[in-house]
Amino acid sequence: MIGDLARLPRQGSEMTVSQIKAKVLRREELTKGIVRLTLEAPEIAVCAQPGQFMMFRATDKLDPLLRRPLSIHQVSSGSQVQVLLKVVGRGSRFLAERERGDVLDVVGPLGHGFSAPTAPDSSVCLVGGGIGCAPLYFLAKMLLREDPGRLVQVFLGAATADELLVVKKDFENLGGRVALATDDGSLGYHGYVTDLLAANLERERRWQVYGCGPHPMLGKLAEFCAAEKWSCQVSLETMMACGISACLGCTVRRAQTKGEIDKPFLHVCKDGPVFDSGEVAWGREGR
Amino acid sequence: MGQGREVNLTTHIGGGLILRNPVMTASGTFGYGREYAELVNLHRLGAIVVKGISLQPRSGNPPPRIFETAAGMLNAIGLENVGVEGFLREKLPFLREVGAPVVVNILGNSLDDYAALAEILNDIDGITAIEVNISCPNVKEGGVAFGTDPLMVQAVTKTVKGKTALPVIIKLSPNVTDITVTARAAEEGGADAVSLINTLIGMAIDHRTRKPRLANVIGGLSGPAIKPVALRMVWQTARAVKIPVIGIGGIMTAEDALEFLIAGAAAVQIGTANFVNPNSTEMILDGIAAYLQESGCQSLREIIGTLRLD
């Protein structure tokens, strides 16, 4: 739904969706319950954009039935795709337990990813909550590839220090400035990442903000950016069945603007998962 | 298909309509075809049944609309669709080019709605048949009343048949005591075929918050969890009516589809499987053909309704 803004440069060919068998090339357990998988997926790697996602079969049986959406963490070597996943249930546990050589059934790349900054000379602020840091890494990589001199300020929040140590280093290696917040105070600021951001972001700069994380965090971020009049794009997560806009199950409420009362919903898989933060009706029940 | 002769997969589904093969998509699981264009060879399908169309566009139910259950899923999409005008303008032109028969699923709140939809679609090129949704559980104001009352089933069928020369398939609700009663009502109303089953009404609760998992509280259960129920109803219905029966409900594999065909279905519709595996339809089609070839059958008809009770 951010279609009229400039697209980020593509890796290669025009966007196409493929269903492929992707071999696991590497499995890294970053901390307990957080796993990074590197997959051989040339069809996806060649056309993936930051913010897009893939749908994974999370069993070879009939239960759990539905595919699991995972955002693209990074694309490398022209043929490899990485995902970063946290074990939250049966599906993610199955995926996190895959070993090198295993083959996964993947559909992707899907959805509407992040768009380039509205104002080309903006500094970039990335805000990740928990496993929401996953797609921001791919975005940071592409933005810095496009303009190595660009300021990329990264704010990452998580429950505890363990979840942040590896990704912090990754973002720093790209050339980003990283600030951390933890719920338990075990690393960085003790509290919400959005509070850390509000206290530290230099107001005199023009910022393009990108966020991914829990819905309440994104709601706060949207409110903050609206007040500061900074453009903000957020990547949303919902329950999904198909990922290709056939089931129409992944709805969120749309912010109501005049004359469009007949369009009360957005579909995360097709209209998103990345939205301009002003498009989403925040703080409503049943997202 | 392997070596040797091709198996004849054509099947009659009523109203003079012959499909090149028995594998159709189930309404609401395949969008308007285009959604799957990059993942499925659409021209190979027996027919594409599109997402249910109403006279006016509908925005559907609030979220959450879906929830995964054991070997299945609940949905309460609420019949979100682009409306008949939007369908004809934005969706049908693509479908016309695909090369697969297009079955338009229609839904309404009144007999007048169904009549108007049938009349509009009757004059349109590129539509092969109409499937009438009288059984969607997810809207409060209609649907269920039509689908569970035999007199209403007959009346809707008669109304639609009176307004179109296209073959008319009535999609039956399983949420009744005896599905053969509504099936016969559709037959008496002049239906060319019946398709069954639509979703079974179910619900799920988050025990921690004590809230329903769906904003609509109740929704339709689909997926492999419902297959035995669907198969039983298809078998009962195939024995109760003379018109063709189209089997739907939790079909994931060619073996599942064969069970429905043996139970008496002239064709099958693939639904939730499309979400799980986008190329389910083609895989099932290939599997049916391979099975027939391996068992020395020359045509699909040799297995339809061949359940052995001896």
Residue A264 in any domain: the answer is no
Query: Are the C-beta atoms of A234 and A51 separated by less than 8 Å?
Result: no
pLDDT, average across residues B268-287: 98
Rounded Cα gap, residues A60 and B181, in angstroms: 39
In a domain, A63, yes or no: yes
The answer to whether the complex's ipTM is over 0.90 is yes
Give the pLDDT band of residue A121 (cuts 50, 70, 90): confident
The whole-angstrom distance between A108's CA and the closest CA on chain B is: 10
Whether B68 has a pLDDT exceeding 90, the answer reads: yes
Range of the domain at A71: 18-110
The verdict on a CB contact (< 8 Å) between B63 and A263 is no
From chain A, the residues in CB contact with B51 under 8 A are: 246, 248
Whether the per-residue pLDDT at A6 is higher than 60: the answer is: no
| pTM listed for this prediction | 0.94
A6 inside 8 A of chain B by CB: no
Residue A259 — pLDDT band, cuts 50, 70, 90? Answer: low
Whether residue B155 is predicted with pLDDT greater than 60 in this model: the reply is: yes
Amino acid, res. B8: N
* pLDDT number for residue A203: 86
Q: Is residue A286's pLDDT more than 60?
A: no
Whether A88 is in a domain gets the answer yes
Nearest-by-Cβ selection for B29 from A239, A246, A265 = A246
Predicted confidence (pLDDT) per residue in A85-95, tens digit = 999 999 999 99
A247 touches chain B (CB under 8 A): yes
A63 and B71: CB-CB below 8 Å?
Answer: yes
Q: B276 to chain A: nearest residue by CA?
A: A66
Q: Read off the pLDDT band of B175 (50, 70, 90).
A: very high
Q: Considering the domain boundaries, does residue A54 fall inside one?
A: yes
* Residue A167, φ and ψ in degrees, nearest 5: -65, -35
> In angstroms, how far is the first alpha carbon of chain B from the final one?
33
Q: Between residues A27 and A5, which one has the greater pLDDT?
A: A27
- Mean pLDDT, to the nearest integer, of B85-104? 95
Distances (CA, A) of A268 to A50, A89, A265, B9: 15, 21, 9, 39
E-strand stretches of B197-294: 200-203, 205-206, 211-212, 218-222, 245-248, 267-270
Q: What is the mean pLDDT of residues B82-108?
A: 95
For position B280, what pLDDT does the model report?
Answer: 97
The span from the CA of A37 to the CA of A96, in Å, is 8
Q: Tell whether the model's pLDDT for residue B51 goes beyond 60.
A: yes
Asked if the structure places residue A40 within a domain, the reply is: yes
Model pLDDT, residue B1 = 44
pLDDT tens for B193-210 read 999 999 999 999 999 999
pLDDT(B138) > 70 = no
For residue A60, the domain's CATH number is: 2.40.30.10
User: According to the model, what pLDDT value does residue A5 have?
Assistant: 41
Q: Give the pLDDT of residue A15.
A: 60
- Whether A207 maps to a domain, the answer reads no
What mean pLDDT do residues A256-269 have?
80
**pLDDT, tens only, A221-253:** 999 999 999 999 999 999 999 999 999 999 999
Topology of domain B11-302, per CATH?
TIM Barrel (3.20.20)
pLDDT of the residue at A165: 85
CA pair distance B245, B263, nearest whole angstrom: 10
Residue B275 Cα distances to B67, B77, B302, angstroms: 13, 15, 31
Please write the tens of the pLDDT for every residue from B278-291: 999 999 999 999 99
Query: How far apart are alpha carbons B296 and A162 in whole angstroms?
Result: 62
- pLDDT at residue B57 greater than cutoff 90: yes
Query: Residue A211 — very low, low, confident or very high, per pLDDT cuts 50/70/90?
Result: very high
- Of A13, A2, A154, A143, the closest CA to residue A74 belongs to A143
Residue A240 with chain B: CB contacts under 8 Å? 66
Q: Which of B245, B274, B275, B272 is nearest to B260 (CA)?
A: B245
CA distance A204 to A202: 6
Which residues of B are catalytically annotated? 136
Q: What is the mean pLDDT of chain B?
A: 94
**Those residues with Cβ within 8 angstroms of residue A148's Cβ, 6 or more apart along the chain or in another chain:** A175
Rounded-to-integer distance, Cα B210 and Cα B206, Å: 5
pLDDT at position B146: 79
Give the model's pLDDT for residue B3: 52
pLDDT, tens only, A19-29: 999 999 999 99
Question: Residue A1: which pLDDT band, with cuts at 50, 70 and 90?
Answer: very low
Q: What total number of domains does chain A contain?
A: 1
Which candidate from B59, B275, B278 shows the least CB-CB separation from A262? Answer: B59
Whether residue A8 has pLDDT greater than 60 = no
pLDDT at B136 over 70: no
% chain A with pLDDT above 70: 92
Residue B140 has pLDDT above 90, yes or no: no
